[in-house]
Structure 1
Amino acid sequence: MFEHVDPFIGTGATDLPPPQGLAAAWWWPKPQVGNTHPGATYPFGMVSACAYSGGYPTGYGRYDFNTEGVPHTIHDRQVASGFTHFQQSGTGAIRKYYNYFRVTPMLHPIDELGRVWPLHDEVASPGYYAATLATGVRSELTVGPKSAVHRYTFPAHEQARIVLDASIGGLPTPRSRTVPLRAFLALVRPGVAQGEIVVEGVPLAVHIEIDAPGWRQSLWYDRRLMPGGTRLDFDYIRPTTLRPFGLIWMGRAKAEQSVEIRLGFSLRGIERAEANLHADLAEAGAPAGTHGGPAFDLRREATRTAWREHLDLIRVDETGLTPERKTTLATAAYHSFIKPSFAPEESPWGTDGPYAFDICTMWDIYRTQLPLLNTLQPSRSADLATVLMAICEQEGNLPIGYRMAKGADRFSRQASALAHTFLADLWARREPGIDWDWALVHLDADLRRTYGEDYLAHGIAHPVTHTLDLAFAYHCTEQIARGVGDDTLADQMHAHSGGWRAAFDPATGLLVDSTFYEGGRWNYSFRLLHDMATRIELAGGQERFVGLLDRFFGVGAPPVRQPGIHPSKEELAAGYALGRFEGLNNEPDLDAPWAYHYAGRPERTAQIVHAAIANQFGVGRGGLPGNDDSGGLSAWYVWATLGLFPVAGQDGFLLGPPAVAQAELARPEGDLLITTEGLRVPEPGGPVSYVRSVQVDGREHAGTWLPGRAARRAQHIHLELGDEPSSWGRRTRPPSHSS
């Protein structure tokens, strides 16, 4: 897949062909932009590096802050004022946006620092980004797990400069700037510098080595050089009086002269930052130390190898796939492997072992991206579980979101208790490395906090979607408690796991009146609960439930018009009144197409999923229908292409028609081969492939569901497909757990 990846997908406003067929009836109001960046990344690595324009939300690109419709541009072309480190991937309004330690190659006086220059000849591949600034400096970036290496190729110039700004952070958009609270910088020896900034309460240290023999180096403050100074300290920085500060290297550049700058990072001090840089260089086979020889190409190749290994975990037969579809799938896999950012031994609390940040947010990734991680790299998931519990010990709650910052993110309106779902799937695998008794202490305590208090006191919590979250979390915790032999706790959990019923109005078959986070009652009414049989009964039975789903997905409805730039209140109100599927643009809708399975209508799922694959994902900067959300959206595409959908927290997979003729997943327990017969590759307005029969390891499989244990044992799933709906899945139903 490596050769097909295009990191530019999702960096621009959605620009897909007009949807055809069923997809034309969907309406999505959330930001129509992927919010990804094309910068250099390492698989699940700590560090990324990218051109910095100040654009929302990654620091890259042309866009202003937006929450609905097509984003407004703040730049008429791709520009950059330099190159920063640590970027979000596909997220929206989280208000904290990193972009620390901006490095700018300059042919101008330092007074010009902060000016943006047009970017030309941009190129990106996994682990590599390059562009030429309008000044003529070719700029290339690559990263290791905890480091970044820049290479700048200058035109001939008497006063070339490389300027590092340690004061910059976040974005220049309102309320999005990050100001260091404390900082220091020090010149260690020629070509070597170190420093640390305390941002969002966390100390971020950097060790810098530059390969520029004969160039002068200096500290600078408020765009003025500090000749002779070797250290700059700020014990306390007031945001209102902040002046920029940093480091500069200056010298004569010959035509086509390349200068490398290597940066190691740590949350545990400058000594570890230096060690991290040298470890990353050694792992790549590059010499450490100033003037030790070029490291860029070696580090780039080592990162390319790491990306190939990750992308090779998913292998597909490309027969029948257009070049565009190959690129779409490969890039979706790539985006699924960027976050969270794992930084082992980097916990700012001083504890050793796993550490991770950019869990942004559980609401975005728990249905799709984390199950992909569980399937392909469960040991990494176990590390993440350990991190979640460590955060809980430090902050008092299992986080809904967590960044490189002191304090867990407060996305309290978004969701409740989603870590319970993630941990339940890990428990089902019996994944080693987790203290499950200690985990139960946190899982139990977390259910009584924030909205959990209302749930226990009143039997319902508002926003009412939290009632669904909490009831399901009780169910997940019950499974873990029962498994470790704590039947008393399991019985207590079971007693509260049925509270989801209070969230639904039998008169409408939908959720009761409430407020809703980024959506309405229709968006949230069709999530996959642990007792779908009772859910369907509360809706008035199977026929009425299917009718509600058909209305939600616009079956037989006319095409609708999507919101544009700055949609009016009236336009949005009319759209929300449709109560329509938001077409993968909104997280609560991600699992809704599979609700048909529980009503014996898997052919409807096939129609919707194939319509989404064909109409809502493409190539180019505008190839995503909405925010990629740390890979949550891209992971949905990967699962849909495979013909599988993980039911998060219930340890199983729903089956459907794949979008490729053959695929293979490399799993720790053995490879899983998925083959088809009679596939029609999804195309806009084209026919849908329906499942006629399924064989698992050569045996007929009647159900539309594959339990997790059976899935992990399976080596070969074969699906016979046809152009017309069949009786497959009409009589069987995925399991429902009585509550």
Structure 2
Amino acid sequence: MVSACAYSGAYPTGYGVYTKNTEGLPEEMFDGPQASGFTHFQQSGTGAIRKYYNYVRVTPMVQSLDALGQAWPLRDEVAEAGYYAATLDTGIRCEITVGAKAAIHRYTFPEHRNARIVVDLSCGGLAIDHGRTVPLRAYAESIGNGRAQGTVVVEGVPLSVHVEVDSPGWRQMLWHDRRLIEGGTRLDFDRIRQTTLRPFGLLFMGPATAGRSVEVRIGFSLRGCEQARENLRRECGDGPPAFDTVRARTTDRWRDHVGRIEVEGGSPARRQVFATAMYHSLIKPCFADDESPFWPTSGPFAFDVCTMWDIYKTQLPLLAAICPDRAVDLLESLIRVCEEEGNFPIGYRMARGADRFFRQASALAHTALADAHALDLGDLDWNWALAHMDGDLRRMYGEDFYEHGVVHPISHTLDLAYAYHCTAAVARALNDNALADDLAARSHLWTNAFDPDTGLLWDSSFYEGGKWNYSFRLLHDMAGRIALAGGDKAFVAMLDSFFGYGAPAVAQPGQRPDPAEMAAGYALNRFQGLNNEPDMEAPWSYHYAGRPDRTAEVVHAALTWQFGTGPGGLPGNDDSGALSSWYVWASLGLFPIAGQNLFLVSAPAFAHATIHLRDREFVIETSGHRETPISSDGLSSVPPPQYVQSAWLNGKPLDVACLRASDVHAGGRLRLELGPEPSAWGHAIRPPSLSDPHRTGATP
């Protein structure tokens, strides 16, 4: 539930150094990393969403309260899974670890007679224009002996805290508008507005001996202070110190999860990027089990589902493989949101009412639910799920699609046709054939999105991209899609143009690009990058036209040049782990086709890999593998890719460049023979399509 880190107030997510930016190079607000304290609910790799949390800022200080909000440079930073540490320019060493619903801080002060730990309950959002979150109501209470509690209602959500500070002999006080309230034990704010907000919170103050550490323990709940206190007790027990115990427990949990895919070979930099990608893939969504403030029942409650429009392609299939119980919990939570609030969310934050982001996409939960059913994950009530899947298809953009068979933005036509296909599969499996037939008929309406004269989508408005970016989406009928484009040769030529084969390099925009420069870039009709949601799957479209060798070339170049170690090691927006999940799958030589019980197969980046799936393993082994470095190894030229020459699944020849997801989940062994030149493997037999499920041979 808790994601704690240093807080600068800058973009992105509150830790960064930039002003808000959506196009071109970002402008820096600061020269380097700095912090005004440490917050507990941070996003992970999200772009320009409306709010960024960053609630409950804790600041260790040796200055007076008037200096609250000042930022100090960070040095000696350490970042590990479940642990963050840095030294402020004031000489205070700061460490944070987290449990499921708690955060433990440890501050080591220099000698000072009035050291302070300040808890700011009014903090929220980013310190950029229109970036702040203002509490609606709040209360804070000092309950003595280093204990305090409070509740802040932010965006309609009651976030409660229980705070314990291990500081014998220190004073504790409330403060408001940077002024101490001597003798006061409670603050109440029944109505707060932008114009009336003045910072408020808790303060603990006393003498510090050089090298002495003070531990701060905070429990969180969305259901009141008492539950926040109980959440802290479950993490820490009844007595201090708790930091090392909680850190060790959290480290063990992360080691277990990150270790659920093991790779062998590769340079140290490549292995580091892979492990980091695994970590990023597992940070979000946040789960707050039994904590929903919107319905009273127990059970999973997931928030930070901020980028459903790309996590459904890569991250959710990864969770289904290595954390299946949590994947099912997420789906149950989304069904509950649909039941309580009226529709499946496309994005869902810790806020009253879903930020549904409907411009981006429609009906994406259907895809993940179809995957879960095909893989027999968990014990969801599938009749309950199907009722909501069917009902949701006719909400928002779905209403126009139902009535007219096409809707703009035109990409939503593809979303909805695909969701009808996925829902039909679940209905068929549940023996509701009448419903399945009706849904399946509407799934064919994807053709209404395409201009038969160009083989591309009709002109429309598009979110983050143009019609070329969205035209290479992996549909349920790729055979029909390629035929509509004029056949294999024409489709491959379009893809080659999109990826810039034989074309000069594209100049990248600088800071504050003007609209004409951006329009000229879009007019090139080129691949924008893996951080762009529709482009993530485009390299794999070649598979359906019998050219898995082209997929291998594009993916190899991306793995080599677009990812590295250190700051800037991602080629843009991680979108809550979606991009990192793409990296994990691509490094394994696999790509999930969400909603179709299917993986495409390509050349992996490691000689050997093992996916741990509950009580079984899926092993990917190679012969003829050649180790290649990545950009972080100081490359000056592109090492050539490798190509699959032949493949075997569980000892039997695999002539098609795909396998069922259920085969992966069942455990087994995929053996790939690799070589330096393209081969005929995967050319004649194609992955299945709706209009040609046993597709063989090349189309004209």
Work out the CA distance in 1 between the residues paired with 2:678 and 2:290. 53
Spell out, residue by residue over 1:386-409, the C-alpha distance to the aligned partner (whole angstroms, 9 max, x if none).
100111112111000101111111
C-alpha contact 1:61 1:78 (8 A) present in aligned 2: yes
Is 2:241 the partner of 1:294?
yes
Equivalent in the alignment of 1:716? 669
SS of structure 2 residue aligned to 1:485: coil
TM-score of the pair, normalised by structure 1: 0.91
Larger relative contact order (CA 8 Å, sep ≥ 6): 1
Contact 2:267–2:628 under 8 Å retained in 1: no
- Map of 1:213 onto structure 2: 168
The match for 1:125 is 80
Partner Cα separation in structure 1 for residue 628 and residue 405 of structure 2: 44
Q: Contact 1:151 / 1:296 at 8 angstroms: preserved in 2?
A: yes
Question: In structure 2, how many angstroms separate the alpha carbons of the residues matched to 1:708 and 1:671?
Answer: 13
d(CA) in 2 for partners of 1:738, 1:564: 45
What is the aligned partner in structure 2 of residue 185 from structure 1?
Answer: 140
Verify the 8 A CA contact 1:268 1:350 in the aligned structure 2: no
Amino acid at match of 2:114: Q
Structure 1: runs of 5 or more not aligned: 1-45, 283-287
Matched, 1:204 2:159: yes
2:613 is paired with a residue of what secondary structure? Answer: coil
Query: CA offsets per residue over residues 417-436 of structure 1, 9 Å max, x none?
Result: 00011101001012232111
Q: What SS is found at the alignment partner of 1:96? A: coil
How far apart are the structure 2 equivalents of 1:381 and 1:129?
Answer: 27
Name the SS for the 1:205 alignment partner: strand
Q: How far did 1:275 drift? A: 0.7
Q: Residue 68 of structure 2 corresponds to which residue in structure 1?
A: 113
Please report how far the alpha carbon of residue 458 of structure 1 lies from its aligned counterpart in structure 2 after TM superposition: 1.8
Deviation string, structure 1 residues 635-690 (Cα, Å, up to 9, x no partner): 00000000010001101100010000000000025111110111223445111110
CA contact (8 A) 2:591 2:601 kept: yes
CA contact (8 A) 2:141 2:148 kept: yes
Tell me the residue number matched to 2:289: 344
Q: How many residues align?
A: 684
Q: 2:509 aligns with which of 559, 563, 575?
A: 563
Query: Corresponding residue for 1:690?
Result: 643
CA distance in structure 2 between the aligned counterparts of 1:501 and 1:394, rounded to whole angstroms = 34
1:316 aligns with 2:281: no
Are 2:440 and 1:482 aligned? no
User: Are residue 394 (structure 1) and residue 340 (structure 2) matched?
Assistant: yes
SS in 1 for 2:284: coil
- Shift of residue 101, structure 1, vs aligned partner: 0.8
Summarize the alignment of residues 325-364 of structure 1 with structure 2, pairs less than 5 Å apart. 325-348=270-293, 349-364=295-310
Shift in Å, 1:194: 0.6
Contact 2:324/2:378 (CA < 8 Å) preserved in 1? no
Q: Which amino acid aligns with 1:154?
A: F
Q: CA deviation at 1:569?
A: 2.0
User: For 1:712 and 1:167, how far apart are their aligned partners in 2?
Assistant: 46
- After superposition, where does 1:253-652 map in structure 2 within 5 Å? 253-282=208-237, 288=238, 292-317=239-264, 319=265, 321-348=266-293, 349-652=295-598
Post-superposition offset of 1:585:
2.3
Q: What does the per-residue CA deviation read over 1:197-234, in whole Å, with 9 as the maximum and x for residues that have no partner?
A: 11111111101110000000001111111111111111
Q: Partners in 2 of 1:567 and 1:585 — Cα distance? A: 19
The separation in 2 between residues aligned to 1:712 and 1:53, in whole angstroms, is 42
Look up the match of 2:89: 134
Partners of 1:76 and 1:712 in 2: CA distance: 47
- The one-letter code matched in structure 1 to 2:326 is R
Once residues 452 and 345 of structure 1 are traced to their aligned partners in structure 2, the CA distance between those partners, rounded to angstroms, is 32
Shift in Å, 1:555: 1.1
- 1:270 Cα deviation after fit: 0.7
Task: Give distance in 2, aligned partners of 1:63 and 1:248.
Answer: 30
> Which residue does 2:196 correspond to in 1?
241
Residue 364 of structure 1 contacts residue 630 of structure 1 at CA under 8 Å; is this kept in 2?
no
* 8 Å contact kept, 1:613–1:682: no
CA contact (8 A) 2:9 2:15 kept: yes
Aligned-partner residue type, residue 586 of structure 1: N
CA distance in 2, matches of 1:450, 1:668: 39
Q: Given the alignment, which residue of 169, 172, 179 partners 2:127?
A: 172
For 2:666 and 2:230, locate their aligned partners in 1 and report how far apart those are by CA, in whole Å: 42
Choose from 47, 51, 64 the match for 1:92. 47
Map Cα deviations across residues 285-330 of structure 1 (whole Å, 9 max, x no partner).
Answer: xxx2xxx33211111111110110001101011x2x2221111111
Report the Cα distance in structure 2 between the residues aligned to 1:358 and 1:254, rounded to whole angstroms: 40
Please identify runs of 4+ aligned residues in structure 1 that moved more than 4 A: none
- Map 1:696-735 onto structure 2 (within 5 A): 696-735=649-688
Q: What amino acid maps onto 2:253 in structure 1?
A: A
**Alignment partners' CA distance in 2, 1:358 and 1:544:** 41
Percent of pairs with identical residues: 62
Letter in 2 for 1:314: I
Letter in 2 for 1:63: Y
- The residue identity in structure 2 corresponding to 1:412 is F
Q: 2:300 & 2:234 partners in 1: Cα distance?
A: 17
Cα-to-partner distance string for 1:486-529 (whole Å, 9 max, x where unaligned): 11110110110011101111111110111111100100000100
The SS at the match of 1:631 is helix
Answering whether residue 691 of structure 2 is matched by residue 738 of structure 1, we say yes
* C-alpha contact 1:532 1:598 (8 A) present in aligned 2: yes
After superposition, the C-alpha distances for 1:48-104 in whole angstroms (9 at most, x for unaligned) are 111111011311121110001221111112111111110000000111111111111
Secondary structure class of the residue paired with 1:65: coil
What is the letter of the counterpart of residue 663 of structure 1? Answer: A
Q: Return the alpha-carbon distance in structure 2 between the equivalents of residues 431 and 410 of structure 1.
A: 26
For the 8 Å contact 1:606–1:689, the answer to whether it is kept is yes
- Deviation of the 1:372 alpha carbon: 0.2
What is the letter of the counterpart of residue 84 of structure 2?
Y
Contact 1:610 1:682 in 2 (8 A): no
Q: Is the contact between residue 158 and residue 224 of structure 2 (CA under 8 Å) also seen in structure 1?
A: yes
Counterpart residue type for residue 387 of structure 1: S
Q: Distance in 2 between matches of 1:158 and 1:396?
A: 56
In structure 2, distance between residues paired with 1:227 and 1:501: 71
After superposition, the Cα gap between the structure-2 partners of 1:587 and 1:682, relative to the gap in structure 1 and judged at 3 Å, is: farther
Contact residue 652 and residue 711 of structure 1 kept, 8 A: no
State the shift of 1:257 in Å.
1.3
